[in-house]
Amino acid sequence: MELSDRDLSLVAALADGLALVDRPYRVIGDAVGLTEDEVIARIAAMKEAGIIRRFGVIVRHHELGFRANAMAVWDIPDHQVSELGRLLGDAPEVTLCYRRPRRLPDWPFNLFCMIHGRDRDAVEAAIKALAERHGLSHHRHAVLFSTRRFKQTGARYGRRSAAE
Amino acid sequence: MDDIDRRIINALQGGFPIVERPFAAAAEALGLAEAELLARIKALREAGTISRFGPMWHAEKMGGGLTLTAMKVPAERFDEVADIVNSFPEVAHNYAREHALNMWFVVATERPERIAEVLAEIEARTGLPVHDMPKTEEFFVGLRFEA
């Protein structure tokens, strides 16, 4: 799906989310010169096309009580990483799971999972359970807890169109 | 936050109605009145529990660029480098982590070519290498949190 200039202005108008009023799509339409029906149709189309992964409340996980998060990484042989990634991606403990390139010599790991939990102990227990369940203990491994969060704005799109 | 707030957060992390009166539709499914749902969402936003109500974008399908990067920053330069990195609007979030590579941030751009430019600008301004680790395969993007 190609995004038109009108779509991009809609994307920009959605950057801060919906107005918390009874007819939020009309408010957005007024801001970008579309009717409420057009806004609804375009957002639905973007969701259908997967451009919008999901539409709803975006939580601040730290404030919600998920005070600990770790990036758990493994060095998995290339011929096994896809299968293992799918298994870990299905695990309830995992919030994100990707394959990424190694950056030798500093970084030998190619499978990345984000694990969030109420506290450090909960995250460590989740990673241990995950590793045991999937027989990961013989692979090189690291757990990178976050110690400070500097910025969490989320990606912002549509600036170009907003500036025009 | 009470049980109703928790139900709202758990139910509305996806699948929000795209209809004329979406809060009314969502409220009905939760057994609430529209006005009460709106008031509770406003309160949750003011408390900082939720950041916004709207779309989570798929960067690549939008035609944009997205990558995860890491830097090895000397402890005495950490705050200075964090200020430089965070000054880029393309940096979506940035975390200090326990590893020799101790600063990890996500870069999201409208055009894929802009990723390399941003990373080069950060390297030039900090004098430190930036490791670029774009995903090569995606297994799961849930990012849902049980309240």
Q: What is the pLDDT of residues A20-63, one digit of tens each?
A: 999 999 999 999 999 999 999 999 999 999 999 889 998 888 88
Q: Do B98 and A147 touch (CB under 8 A)?
A: yes
Question: A 124-153 residues with CB below 8 A of B?
Answer: 142, 144-153
DSSP B112: T
Residues of chain B with pLDDT under 50: none
Residue A159 banded pLDDT, cuts 50, 70, 90? very low
Cβ atoms of residues A47 and A55 within 8 Å: yes
Using only C-alpha atoms, chain A has a radius of gyration, in whole angstroms, of 20
Ranges for all domains in chain A classified under CATH 1.10.10.10: 5-58
Predicted confidence (pLDDT) per residue in A92-105, tens digit: 889 899 999 999 99
Q: Are residues B120 and B73 in the same domain?
A: yes
Predicted confidence (pLDDT) per residue in A104-122, tens digit: 999 999 999 999 999 999 9
Task: Calculate how close chain A gets to B124, using CA atoms only, in Å.
Answer: 20
Q: How many domains does chain B have?
A: 2
Burial of A14 per CB tally in 10 Å (0-12, 13-18, 19+): buried
Q: Are residues B128 and B92 in the same domain?
A: yes
Decide if B79 is inside a domain.
Answer: yes
Q: What is the pLDDT of residue A124?
A: 96
Put residue B63 in one of left, alpha, beta given phi > 0 → left and psi -120 to 50 → alpha: left
Task: Give the chain A residue nearest B67 (alpha carbons).
Answer: A100
| CATH number for the domain that contains residue B82 | 3.30.70.3460
Decide if B118 is inside a domain.
Answer: yes
Question: Pseudo-torsion of CA B111, B115, B117, B122, nearest 10°?
Answer: 140
H helices within chain A, ranges in order? 5-13, 24-32, 36-48, 78-90, 120-133, 159-163
Put residue A135 in one of left, alpha, beta given phi > 0 → left and psi -120 to 50 → alpha: left
- pLDDT over 80 (residue A134): yes
β-bridge mates for residue A107, sequence order: A103
DSSP A31: H
Distances in Å between the alpha carbon of B130 and those of A142, B59, B69?
20, 21, 6
Decide if B120 is inside a domain.
Answer: yes
CB of A45 within 8 Å of any CB in chain B? no
Q: Are residues B30 and B71 in the same domain?
A: no
Q: What is the pLDDT of residue A83?
A: 95
Q: Are residues B32 and B71 in the same domain?
A: no
Q: Are residues B126 and B83 in the same domain?
A: yes
| Fold adopted by A68-145 | Alpha-Beta Plaits (3.30.70)
**What integer best gives the mean pLDDT of chain A?**
89
Q: What is the pLDDT of residue A66?
A: 86
Percent of chain A with pLDDT over 70: 91
Identify all chain B residues contacting A96, using CB atoms and an 8 Å cutoff.
140-143
Residue range of the domain that includes B123: 65-132
Q: What is the pLDDT of residue B62?
A: 84
- pLDDT over 50 (residue A162): no
Calpha distance A54→A61 (Å, rounded): 17
Ranges for all domains in chain A classified under CATH 3.30.70.920: 68-145
Calpha distance B20→A22 (Å, rounded): 8
Q: The tokens 């109703």 sit on which residue?
A: B4
Decide if B142 is inside a domain.
Answer: no
Identify all chain B residues contacting A153, using CB atoms and an 8 Å cutoff.
92-93
Predicted confidence (pLDDT) per residue in B117-126, tens digit: 999 999 999 9
Decide if B57 is inside a domain.
Answer: no
Q: What is the pLDDT of residue A155?
A: 62
Q: Are residues B126 and B69 in the same domain?
A: yes
Calpha distance B147→B144 (Å, rounded): 9
Sign of CA dihedral A87, A92, A98, A104: negative
Q: What is the pLDDT of residue A153?
A: 66
Q: Are residues B41 and B75 in the same domain?
A: no
Q: What is the pLDDT of residue A100?
A: 98
CB of B37 within 8 Å of any CB in chain A? no
| Fold adopted by A5-58 | Arc Repressor Mutant, subunit A (1.10.10)
Decide if B11 is inside a domain.
Answer: yes
Stretch (H or E) spanning B71: strand B65-71
Q: What is the pLDDT of residue B27?
A: 97
Q: Are residues B75 and B115 in the same domain?
A: yes
Calpha distance B5→B1 (Å, rounded): 6
Calpha distance A103→B144 (Å, rounded): 29
Report the pLDDT averaged over residues A9-26. 93
